[in-house]
Amino acid sequence: MKFLICIMIAGFVAISCKTAVNTAETPRPNMVELVNNPETTLVDVRIPSEFEEKTAKNAVNIPLAEIENNLDFFRKQKQVVLFCNRGKQAQSALDILKKNGIENVVSAKTLDNVSAIQNSK
């Protein structure tokens, strides 16, 4: 009997609770296509010494601290993929760019992600 009551309560809760559905959800970009697209600009947002030590093929270095000073650069690019060591700086850079109305940018999170895509050709 307790089991039946629990089922009925669970059913009532499930029916009475409404879940918000985001109908305008944008599809996730295909990161492999973006990274391999010659029209995509790869931006390493790490500090210059890390960039000099190792980065992705054809990447440019715009450290996180310099993102806001380079908004015009980002506006001129067709598509931008950001990356760093662990993804935190890339996400911060993405947030700054989006806040400034730049929508042609995505985060690949890490250098390892970008390098793996480039090396899997």
pLDDT, residue 60, reads 98
pLDDT tens-place string over residues 23-82: 455 567 799 999 999 999 999 999 999 999 999 999 999 999 999 999 999 999 999 999
pLDDT tens-place string over residues 82-110: 999 999 999 999 999 999 999 999 999 99
Residue 1 CA, chain-centre distance (Å), reads 50
pLDDT: is 24 or 18 the higher one?
A: 24
Residue count of the chain, please give it. 121
Sheet holding 105-110, edge to edge: 60-61, 40-44, 79-84, 105-110
**Does residue 22 register a pLDDT over 60?**
no
pLDDT, residue 1, reads 54
pLDDT, residue 2, reads 52
